[in-house]
Amino acid sequence: MTSVSYREALRLAHYEALERDERVFLMGEDVGSYGGTYAVSKGMLEKFGPERVRDTPLSELAFVGAGVGAALAGLRPIVEVMTVNFSLLALDQIVNNAALLRHMTGGQVSVPLIVRMATGAGRQLAAQHSHSLEGWYAHIPGIKIVAQGTIEDARGMLAAALKDPDPVLVFEYPALYDAKGELADGAVDISSSKLRRTGGKVTLVTYGGCVPKCLKAAEEIDGEVIDLRVLRPLDMAPVLESVRKTRRAVVVDEGWRSGGLAAEVMARIMEEGFYDLDAPVARVCSEEVPIPYAAHLEQAALPQPEKIVAAAKGLFG
């Protein structure tokens, strides 16, 4: 085991993907000569050449669409949409084409497309570059949504996603790029939630950028942390199992509160775990404001360990 950063783990994953399978190629804005906005694809153009590491024009609709076409034609495209905000320009390609073509053709075609994008706030990129819209995509049947909240997943999820015959949206968290950790070799799945910390008093359900925040909060409140990892389809079994034990749950989600993914997770706990609960399920989400630019305001708008601790304590008398 070696210590690497989240960014290096991502780079390694992409490097290996390109090396392992000739059908795999990477395209997106600045992924080539610039080495990726977040330097994840640094050096790859030199190693794999412009055929397989392609810079694209600033048109998400066009190049995600090209990715759909390439996938239909038998390639394994990894399309980088720089941040989830820009993916709004490609919504039609993702929601109407990638997600639906298998269905619309009665199973004649499939779209083995990877769309990877950065998501979340916390780096003073201001309101237009700080969205957390994973929950939106998790609403759509036909695509799989995964969130890389750990170094293990940053390293392993891409390979698992490339094996999937259908489109997978792979979310990565710039707030974690410099996080360091041990790199295990083991492969990961993209079908299950995982217990990240064992505890006795309260279950913290989260994903992505909030995983480290929950782990920190859990120290103080004897919390059990479940990393959802896969936002669609949700794997609730470990969550329900944990709630059976702790009888209390806080859902932590960097998305906004109203109509968010946290609400969905809470609803499922109500549906399937109601009689295990000793207190109403609580949630910690982002404040319902455009994400502020000023650092202190931005931090105040996001879920933080202190807020998670306070919400958890609120479940006790």
Partner 1 sequence: MIEFKMPALGSDMTEGKLLEWKVKQGDAVKRGDVIAVVDTSKAAVEVEIWQAGTVQELLTEPGTTVPVGTVIATLAAPGEAVAAPEKRPEKPAEERPQPRRRISPAARKHAEDRGVDLDKVEGTGPGGSVTVEDVERAAKRPVVEEKPAVKPLPEKKAPPVSDRALEMRKAIAAAMARSKREIPHYYLSQSVPLARATEWLEAENARRPITERVLMAVLQLKAVALACMKFPDMNGFFRDGAFVPGPSVHAGVAISLRQGGLVAPAIHDAQELPLPELMRSLADLVRRARAGSLRSSEMSDPTITITNLGEGGVETVFPIIYPPQVAIVGFGTIARRAWILDNDIRLVPMVSVSLGADHRVSDGHRGALFLAEIARLLQEPEKL
Contact residues toward partner 1 (CB under 8 A) are 247, 274-279, 314-317
The C-alpha atoms of residue 166 and residue 84 are separated, in whole angstroms, by 20
Minimum separation from the CB atom of position 200 to partner 1 (A): 12
Separation in Å, CA 53 to CA 14, 94, 310: 11, 21, 46
Find the distance separating the first CA and the last CA of the chain, reported in whole Å: 44
Q: Is 51 a catalytic residue?
A: no
Minimum separation from the CB atom of position 204 to partner 1 (A): 17
What's phi and psi for 204, nearest 5 deg? -105, 120
CA–chain centroid gap for 307, Å, is 22
Give 50 or 314: the residue with its C-beta nearer to partner 1.
Answer: 314
Minimum separation from the CB atom of position 245 to partner 1 (A): 11
Q: Is 103 a catalytic residue?
A: no
Minimum separation from the CB atom of position 277 to partner 1 (A): 5
Query: Catalytic one among 8, 29, 60, 254?
Result: 60
Reference 31, options 114, 147, 99, 149; nearest CA is 114
The C-alpha atoms of residue 136 and residue 287 are separated, in whole angstroms, by 17
Residue given tokens 């891409």 in the structure block: 158
Give 169 or 315: the residue with its C-beta nearer to partner 1.
Answer: 315
Residues 6+ apart with CB under 8 A from 266: 249, 251, 281, 283
Whether the bond into 233 is cis, omega within 30 of 0: yes
Query: Catalytic one among 129, 152, 172, 224?
Result: 129
Minimum separation from the CB atom of position 315 to partner 1 (A): 6
Residue given tokens 């990393």 in the structure block: 227
- Cβ atoms of residues 196 and 159 within 8 Å: no
Query: Helix H segments across 105-210?
Result: 134-137, 151-162
Give 278 or 306: the residue with its C-beta nearer to partner 1.
Answer: 278
Give 199 or 209: the residue with its C-beta nearer to partner 1.
Answer: 199
The C-alpha atoms of residue 154 and residue 234 are separated, in whole angstroms, by 19
Lookup: tokens for 15: 């490097």
Give 247 or 257: the residue with its C-beta nearer to partner 1.
Answer: 247
CB atoms within 10 A of CB 173: 26
Which helix (H) or strand (E) segment holds residue 8: the answer is helix 6-20
Minimum separation from the CB atom of position 275 to partner 1 (A): 5
Give 133 or 281: the residue with its C-beta nearer to partner 1.
Answer: 281
- The catalytic site residues sit at 60, 129
